[in-house]
Structure 1
Amino acid sequence: MRIVHFGHACTLLETEGARILIDPGTFSTGFEGERELDAILITHQHFDHLDMDRLPALLEANPGVKLVVDPGSAEAVGKIGAEFQIANPGDAFEIGSSGIDVVGGEHAVIHEEIPVIPNVGYVVDHGAFYHPGDSFFMPEQKIDVLGLPTGAPWLKAGEAVDYLRAVSPRLAVPIHEAVLARPQMHYGLFANLAPEGTEVKVLDVGEPVKL
């Protein structure tokens, strides 16, 4: 599997059977140039995960791409006339020869006065990669590579470390970092406090890496 991090929450996975783009949002750059995508997966409706201004052109440039969204994003996507599939927790489907399991259900709490919205995570190929969106949901599957949330209004660094230890993947790839002026401080914390057997690997934005 190869992965490209387009900054913040957006990742491109290239498996043996599919090219899957997850969370093309406003804080990410470079994904709009991708072609021959098999699927675009959206974890939730927040603009840093779903850029409604760039999505129509991305869909047009990738005819036949399968758009999969969480329940909370359906209304916005429906307004642009796009065909899409709604992913609910517990669903499972295939993109090419790659399997996708949908997990989670709710966005992490930002503040008690802010309503909690839907959020789904995507487990690719039985745990080869896991993108939790904006949540610390623990999947049942053993995770090989984790997209690790790094900075957000809903998390603090210690919680991210605890999540990293709980999931205990072979490899953790920090994502969701664009809200931080100095994410390197968090990266160092993750590396120093990672569980035994887990490597933390920071990806250069836009550069494909084989994992």
Structure 2
Amino acid sequence: MKNLLLIVLVLFSTSLFGQDVIKTKKGKIKIHPIVHGTLAIEHEGLTIYVDPYGGADGFEGLKDADLILITDIHGDHLNKETLKALNTTNSHFIVPEAVAQQMEGIDHAEIEILNNDKSTAFKGIEITALPMYNLPESEDSRHPKGRGNGYLLNIAGKVIYISGDTEDIPEMRELENVDIAFVCMNIPYTMTIDQAADAVLAFKPAIVYPFHFRGQGGLADVEKFKTMVNAENNNIEVRIRDWYPEN
């Protein structure tokens, strides 16, 4: 009996850990926060990884990725160690050109370059690359405009926004009809929680996940971010999840 209970607990922890379910008219979207800016999305047998980072253990219990999206060249987004530890032989990668230039040695089915403001489709999912960059724009910016991608996905009629490393840029603030948003907030690399809250209040996603919130000073105060958003708009659901299980 004890052995059976142990097996059930292990299966629950590996297959359901961190999983959120979004219902659509065409099946369920399952969202798995993994670590920092890394997540997985499942829908009707299709598995998507975003910025695989932190080692293969974080993906235990998930199927190999059919699609992998990478936002930028930095090591917490394009992490070759993690990619080489995963089985990516049959994975279709969608990446900005700067990332494609650094993909040597990574197994793949295909690498598709998608730059800012361009769109493509993969097995019924519509994908648009959006700008992500620091403000003010400068030659020595950590994230210059045009190098990396945020992504807008349309899965079964649900619009999902993945910010990448950005500040509260006009392209984000002007988004409309976003169902689910993953928004970064770590200084000095991206936004403060005040900037992130102000941007979220501007484009009004139905659900927002604060993620990528470890900065030089530690973890951002995402509870305060939630309070700031809901003080102005209680219709936005702020989902706080454990993106840093080691802390």
Instruction: Tell me, yes or no, whether TM beats 0.5.
Output: yes
Structure 2 partner of 1:132: 163
Structure 2 partner of 1:88: 115
Residue correspondence of structure 1 range 152-171 to structure 2 within 5 A:
152-153=187-188, 154-171=190-207
User: How far off is 1:205 after superposition?
Assistant: 4.4
- Alignment CA distance shift 1:53-1:122 (3 Å): same
Instruction: Please state whether the residue corresponding to 1:53 is helix, strand or coil.
Output: helix
Q: For residues 152 and 178 of structure 1, what CA distance do their matches in structure 2 show?
A: 8
Give me the CA root mean square deviation.
2.8
The structure 2 residue matched to 1:77, chosen from 103, 106, 111, is: 103
Q: Contact 2:40 / 2:50 at 8 angstroms: preserved in 1? A: yes
Structure 2 partner of 1:200: 238
Q: For residues 99 and 30 of structure 1, what CA distance do their matches in structure 2 show?
A: 26
Q: For residues 47 and 140 of structure 1, what CA distance do their matches in structure 2 show?
A: 28
Q: For residues 102 and 86 of structure 1, what CA distance do their matches in structure 2 show?
A: 10
Q: For residues 33 and 5 of structure 1, what CA distance do their matches in structure 2 show?
A: 13
User: How far off is 1:129 after superposition?
Assistant: 1.2
Compute the TM-score of the two structures, normalised by the length of structure 1: 0.82
Which amino acid letter does the alignment assign opposite residue 181 of structure 1?
G
Structure 2 gap ranges (5+): 1-28
Q: Contact 1:10 / 1:22 at 8 angstroms: preserved in 2? A: yes
Q: For residues 189 and 196 of structure 1, what CA distance do their matches in structure 2 show?
A: 14
Which amino acid letter does the alignment assign opposite residue 159 of structure 2?
A
Q: What does the per-residue CA deviation read over 1:88-139, in whole Å, with 9 as the maximum and x for residues that have no partner? A: 12322222222212222x4224885624431211111165211010123426
Percent identity between the two aligned chains: 25
The structure 2 residue matched to 1:189, chosen from 224, 232, 235, is: 224
User: How far off is 1:32 after superposition?
Assistant: 6.9
Structure 1 gap ranges (5+): none
Structure 2 partner of 1:65: 91
Q: Contact 1:38 / 1:95 at 8 angstroms: preserved in 2? A: no
Compute the TM-score of the two structures, normalised by the length of structure 2: 0.71
Structure 1 ranges of 4+ moved more than 6 A: none
Which amino acid letter does the alignment assign opposite residue 190 of structure 1?
F
Which deviates the most, 34-43 or 133-142?
133-142
Structure 1 partner of 2:52: 24
Instruction: Please state whether the residue corresponding to 1:76 is helix, strand or coil.
Output: coil
How many pairs does the alignment contain? Answer: 202
